Amino acid sequence: MKESLELMKNKALMAITQAENLEQLEGIRVQFLSKKGEVSLLMGTLRDLPMEERPSFGAEVNLLKASIEEALYDKKQILEEQALAAILEKEKIDVTLPGYQFYQGAIHPLNQVIEDVEDLFVGLGYEVAEGPELENDHYNFEMMNLDKEHPARAMQDSFYTDENHLLRTHTSPVQARTMLEKKGKPLRIICPGKVYRRDDDDPTHSHQFTQIEGLVIDEHITFANLKDALLTMVRHLFGHDRIIRLRPSYFPFTEPSVEVDVSYQKKDGTLGWIEVLGAGRVHPRVLEMGGYDPKKFQGFAFGVGVERIAILKYKIDDIRHFYLNDIRFLSQFKGVNR
Ligand code: FA5
């Protein structure tokens, strides 16, 4: 019996040594160690032995099994390493091949303007506020002193999702939301964001565009403070030689209201003006609805069209370029302002 164990051991170890790949090795494992393998069959002969020989024979078979398992394990490590080396050899990287070209991204020109204006006003102590684009009629119009039947609503015809909800027509509802949040405390905020109107698209108008709202409320705020904030912004954006012109205008939420033009030099060298924003002193009714006592507090507000700023700043001839995502257009703004 002992010899047959020895023979089997030699046979198994020899086969393992000669195995050339993992498949062959698995075949050897099945041949010797599976349920119906040669070692198991040997164990089955145990019952044919006299009682006293059985324990030592069982122990021998277990030793045989252990040495086959160990040899299989060692050989498996070697074959796996060889297989990996073969794969690595086959997949060797040719560093002389030409690489892929990666395009460097850039910040969208509208976002560059927004970031620039934010940086300026945050440096002046303003907070950046936000509000929803799908807005409640109450904040978009009523809190801005535009009752349900107010004719000035027609100036900002819009997209309604139901009777009380619309895509906001301006960033001014964030004024109302912030006033209620601040509960009568002085505030200074700017709020950039997308707005929507049922305007026809043309080179200077889009049905969706971007505004930055500004709002300051405190005691002793005058029109001079508004003018100073606007001039500071215009000169920061366009250069220190620019001047601004305030023209009387009308917004239901400010009184008095102005439209603000920025100076530029025309091709013939003469002075020209371009309207970039609306502004004014916060209407007492708006202050009151926002929880501020208009006898104690005053404020100013402005709403600037970001596209208009970018058009002026980068001399762009059509607002629609901003939304087409044409890489030839966008790649011109790499590194501007950075
Ligand atoms: C307003 O939207 C007011 N909420 C601004 C305001 C805020 C006034 C606070 C007073 C106090 P207006 O409709 O004029 O105002 O729009 C402001 C700016 O948005 C315009 O000066 C213009 O630059 C830009 N704008 C208006 N309509 C469009 C459009 N369809 N496409 C692109 N830009 C537009």
CB-side neighbour CA atoms (13 Å) of 269: 0
Strands (E), 27-168: 127-128, 134-136, 160-162, 165-167
Q: Rounded to an integer, what distance in angstroms lies between the CA atom of residue 213 and that of residue 280? A: 12
Ranges of each domain in the chain = 2-90, 109-333
> pLDDT tens per residue, the chain (338 residues)?
677 888 889 999 999 999 999 999 999 999 999 999 998 888 888 888 888 888 888 888 899 999 999 999 999 999 999 999 989 888 888 889 888 888 778 899 999 999 999 999 999 999 999 999 999 999 999 999 998 888 877 777 789 999 999 999 999 999 999 999 999 999 999 999 999 998 888 888 999 999 999 999 999 999 999 999 999 999 999 999 999 999 999 999 999 999 999 988 888 889 989 889 999 999 999 999 999 999 999 999 999 999 999 998 998 989 999 999 998 999 888 866 54
Distance 10 CA to ligand 1 centre (A): 93
Question: Which of 175, 201, 211, 316 has the most ligand 1 atoms within 8 A of CB, as the residue to mutate?
Answer: 211
Q: Rounded to an integer, what distance in angstroms lies between the CA atom of residue 69 and that of residue 61? A: 12
Distance 154 CA to ligand 1 centre (A): 14
Does the domain at 109-333 match CATH 3.30.930.10? Answer given as yes
Question: Which of 156, 169, 172 has the most ligand 1 atoms within 8 A of CB, as the residue to mutate?
Answer: 172
Phi, psi of 281, deg, nearest 5? -85, 135
277 lines ligand 1 (CB under 6 A): yes
Close Cβ partners of 221 (under 8 Å, ≥ 6 residues apart): 281, 297, 298, 299, 300
Distance 31 CA to ligand 1 centre (A): 84
